[in-house]
Structure 1
Amino acid sequence: MLKGFKEFILRGNVIDLAVAVVIGAAFTAVVTSIVNNLINPLIGAFFKSSTLDSAMVVTLNGSDIKFGAVLGAIINFLIVAVVVYFVFVYPLNQVKQRAERLRKKGVVQPDKPITELDLLSEIRDLLQAQQSPPQPTGKHADPLT
């Protein structure tokens, strides 16, 4: 049981996931700070309120409906989505498209495993090319003419 747990913990994708969660939490703190300390006061000033959370409050039967707080959460989400798209998704899509274009041009072979037979054939062809004398080309290629 402990061996299985050790294999699970040391598996690469679990460690990558842990790193992603930590970075995500730190990134969320930065975005939340930007929204709370920069965007909320600007929008709050527009609505003559100290913060966005206290702006656009509607009281209905003694309950406060805080449209400003919802707007702040939406802004927070949009900032995170924009940064994730332009920092991670868009560049990775560009790399994939470039690799696909190269693959279509024949520069990069499609994903197929190289076998020993492929390697031996390539070595044979290279050795044959080194051992055979170069063939004359051009106007004086045939000595009888």
Structure 2
Amino acid sequence: MFKGFKEFLLRGNVIDLAVAVVIGAAFNAVVEKVVSSLITPLIGMFFKADSLDTALMVELPNGGTIAFGALLGALINFIIVAAVVYFVFVMPMNELRKRTTTAVEEPVVETEQELLSEIRDLLKAQNGASAAAPLAAPATPADPAGPAHAE
């Protein structure tokens, strides 16, 4: 019972996933700081709000509010995370993968017509080369009675 659990935990995919979650959480903290200390003040300057959560708020008639600024902040966070993941992780890994994998040439598959043409050309060459010498008789199966009965 514990052996199977141990194999599950030590499987490469589980370890990679755990590392990715931890790195993602740490990276998210960095992105939040960039947004809160750099992007939010710039947007606040344009919309006259101290944070994105209070920027672009629309009051509804029944007392509720729609916070477009909070949505904009979430979208900016997403775009920053996606850009950094792509440019820092995905693009370099794809480039490394291209450099390390060798191009495997696919075998050339000849069509039936090409193969038949090659056979024809080989037969012509054999017949032309052996025009001086007659063609040998095709091999026949051995006579079951043996060579003594041959006439």
The TM-score bracket by the shorter chain reads 0.5 to 0.7
Report deviation, 1:36.
Answer: 1.5
Deviations 1:65-112 (A, max 9, x none): 000000000000000000011011111222233345x425x7xxxxxx
Letter in 2 for 1:32: E
Q: Distance in 2 between matches of 1:29 and 1:16?
A: 20
Residue 130 of structure 1 corresponds to: none
1:40 aligns with 2:49: no
Residue 72 of structure 1 corresponds to: 73
Q: How many residues align?
A: 106
Q: Distance in 2 between matches of 1:2 and 1:99?
A: 38
| SS of 1:97 mapped into structure 2 | helix
Q: Distance in 2 between matches of 1:9 and 1:53?
A: 41
Identity among equivalent positions (%) equals: 65
Residue 96 of structure 1 corresponds to: 97
| SS of 1:103 mapped into structure 2 | coil
Q: Distance in 2 between matches of 1:35 and 1:57?
A: 19
Letter in 2 for 1:28: N
If you compute each CA radius of gyration, which structure gives the higher value, 1 or 2? 2
Q: Distance in 2 between matches of 1:38 and 1:48?
A: 15
Letter in 1 for 2:32: T
Q: Distance in 1 between matches of 2:63 and 2:50?
A: 22
Q: Distance in 1 between matches of 2:82 and 2:42?
A: 21
Matches within 5 A, 1:1-145: 1-60=1-60, 61-99=62-100, 102-103=102-103
Q: Distance in 2 between matches of 1:89 and 1:54?
A: 35
Q: Distance in 1 between matches of 2:100 and 2:11?
A: 28
